Amino acid sequence: MKNIKLLILVFLSLSFFVACGDDEIPIPPRVEDEGVEEPIIEGKVSVWRTEKDGGLKLAKEAEDLPFTDEAEGDVSITIDDTQVKQEIDGFGAALTGSSVHVLTTDLDESQRAELLKDLFDPTEGIGIKFIRLTMGSSDFSLSDYTYNDQSAGQTDPTQSDFSLGFDNQDMIPLLQQILAINPEIRIMGTPWSPPAWMKTNNNMRNGGNLQTSFYQSYALYFVKYIEAMAAAGIPIHSITMQNEPLVATAYPSMEVSAEQQIVFIKDHLGPAFEAANIDTKIIIYDHNWDVPEYPLTVLEDADAKQYIAGSAFHCYAGDKEVMQDVQDAHPDKGIYFTECSGGEFSPDFSNNLSWNSRNLIIGSVRNSAKTVLFWNLALDQTNGPINGGCSNCRGVVTVNSGNGAITRNVEYYLLAHAGKFVQRGAVRIQTPDTEGQGIHQVAFLNPDSSRVLLVFNADSNMKRLRVSDDSGVFAYTMSGGMLATFVWE
């Protein structure tokens, strides 16, 4: 059997060389990764790749690459692990109410267990390490609700009626199942709206503002949430005050100016966390790249800044480089990328692989992001259920509500290329800017001293890489539009 396999590989290799002709650099044959965890071979480089057309997705090279004394290439990447950048908190997605519904209702117990292991297991799965939760309902939930809804005309400033309520049915048990797979997953909580009775429009939808008389009550709301989740065995790593605070929409939403966020954080939320001995990180903004003045304004207030861990960004407007501008202005505070969604508005695999590699998985990290999170973790075949929001957004995975069939979308493979290999506590390390040569790349140093290099070839032509660090030099030829991950000791 071994001889037959060898003959087949030889035949494929010869066929490929002939097909390439004299003017093209041949690429060795590859085999599809079957999901079996393979050890990193010391002194060699393991390679996983996804092709632009999706013909191969997270495919592992048949043979690891050797280090050599010398190698030539079109593009040189020199990795300097003495220049350490930001620590990475993780790659992941949002576990919305709709995602919870799909995972708990449209899959049976064994299907759900298998998918969760694939998504969250750090060794046998793709290693998602960060989850964003909606605090109450959002545009992707089954209904409107918060943790302290009151009858018309009623209020509860002391939060005596606070309860996780609806989340206790499915959200909490699902999170407990996920944490059993990987206890080190970090979790962020974000509200789309506070209880309607706290708002100027007495409505969870259509924007409105937080009434100043309820600032202290809303700070207590966050404290109660973090404490209730902790009691359920779910540690909340970080929170943002408001999802997309500059947008008033027909689904749960609230407008919060930079000045209002300053007052809320420095006079209410920060002191409330201190009084309750809560170390959950407070992250500001949580909106698009196009208004960096918002987080800059908040961070310029010293009294507010002392309670703030960093700023969060979304992808729907503006350019990723503003994250680095905010980082440069306040290098003592982190940058978090927290939302971007694919969808039927962009169905082409190649275009999505390219845009997300250049702007998110590689581009956002090169611009100091500690996290890269997609929007819904899972949706059904109708891109729902929805609660007034995007009707054609795509989940990281699609679950068919009729038969439980699972489709792993391009976002799944993008997360896999990073999350499967970048460990908890990894740091970004220095590499040169090679975008002008069509190569987008970012490198990491893991706590176990292994190195990870993500590379996307944005050129339509093949590019031969020459990669060097203190381990030596290796070379690799990438086809146009390919995303590749290199891992070595």
Query: Would you name the residues annotated as active-site residues?
Result: 244, 339
Residue 60 near residue 41, CB atoms below 8 Å: no
Which residue is listed with tokens 């939403």? 253
Per DSSP, the chain holds a count of helices (H) and strands (E) of 13, 24
Burial class for 271, CB neighbours closer than 10 Å (0-12, 13-18, 19+) = middle
CA distances from 217 to 209, 225, 230, 340 (A): 14, 12, 20, 31
Contacts of residue 71, defined as CB under 8 A and 6 or more positions apart, other chains included, come to: 466, 473, 474, 475
First and final C-alpha spacing in the chain: 32
DSSP string, 400-467: -TTT--EEE-HHHHHHHHHHTTS-TT-EEEE----GGGTEEEEEEE-TTS-EEEEEEE-SSS-EEEEE
State the virtual CA torsion across 474, 480, 483, 487 in degrees, nearest 10.
Answer: -10
State the amino acid at position 42 in one-letter form. E
Residue 115 near residue 398, CB atoms below 8 Å: no
Between CA 479 and CA 13 the distance in angstroms is: 16
State the amino acid at position 406 in one-letter form. I
Bridge partners, residue 454, by sequence: 442, 485
Q: 314 by DSSP, 3-state: which?
A: strand
Between CA 489 and CA 182 the distance in angstroms is: 24
CA 313 to chain centre: 12
> Which element (helix H / strand E) includes 66?
strand 65-66
